[in-house]
């Protein structure tokens, strides 16, 4: 199981398409830095293809910094820094997409 760490916004469509292709059952995605813009409700179509058992997270500090915490999709869970570390240790490996 892999944790995919995405730090680019939805405008990086080729990168995000490649990441989504590399997702497998049981993987997780965490959006960090500019990646959290993908958590917006307005972009919920972006992750419509991922399996139900792939968890989607966005990093709290980056959501707050950008003022978008209240605008995120229901599909996305908020992870604080501690949960980010927990995700990295719980999954077998990480892939950073940037």
Partner 1 sequence: MKFSLVIQASPFSHQSTATAFRFAQTLLDEGHELFRVFFYAEATLIANNQICSPQGEADLPQQWQTLAEEHQLDLVVCIAAAVKRGVIDDNEAKRYEKASGNLRETFELSGLGQLAEAIAVSDRVITFGA
Partner 2 sequence: MSEKKSVLIINQKSPYGDAAARESLDIALTCSIFEMPVTLLFCGDAIFQLLKDQQPGKIQQKKIEAMLSALPMYDITEIYVEHDSLIQNGLTDEDLCLPVTLIDQSSISQLINLHDTVLTF
Binding to partner 1 by residue 5, rule CB under 8 A? yes
Q: Which is nearer to partner 2, 31 or 63 (CB)?
A: 31
From partner 2, partner 1, none, interface partner of 78 (C-beta below 5 to 8 A by class): none
From partner 1, partner 2, none, interface partner of 14 (C-beta below 5 to 8 A by class): partner 2
Tell which one of 15, 33, 68, 73 touches partner 1 (CB under 8 A).
33
Q: Which is nearer to partner 1, 5 or 76 (CB)?
A: 5
Min separation Cβ 51 and partner 2, Å: 12
Quick one: tokens of 75? 């599909």
**DSSP letter string, 36-84:** GGGGBGGGGGGGTTS-TTSEEEEEHHHHHHTT-GGGB-TTPEEE-HHHH
Min separation Cβ 2 and partner 2, Å: 6
Alpha carbon distance 87, 83 (integer Å) = 6
Q: Do residues 91 and 1 touch, judged by C-beta distance below 8 A? A: yes
Q: Which residue has the tokens 């209240």?
A: 70
């Amino acid at each position: 199981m892999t944790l995919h760490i995405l730090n680019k916004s939805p405008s990086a469509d080729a990168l995000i398409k490649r990441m989504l292709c590399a997702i497998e059952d049981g993987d997780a995605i965490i959006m960090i830095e500019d990646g959290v813009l993908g958590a917006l409700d307005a972009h919920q179509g972006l992750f419509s293809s991922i399996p139900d058992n792939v968890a989607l997270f966005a990093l709290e500090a980056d959501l707050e910094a950008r003022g978008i915490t209240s605008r995120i999709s229901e599909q996305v869970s908020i992870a604080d820094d501690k949960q980010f570390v927990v995700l990295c240790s719980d999954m077998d490996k990480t892939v950073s997409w940037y």
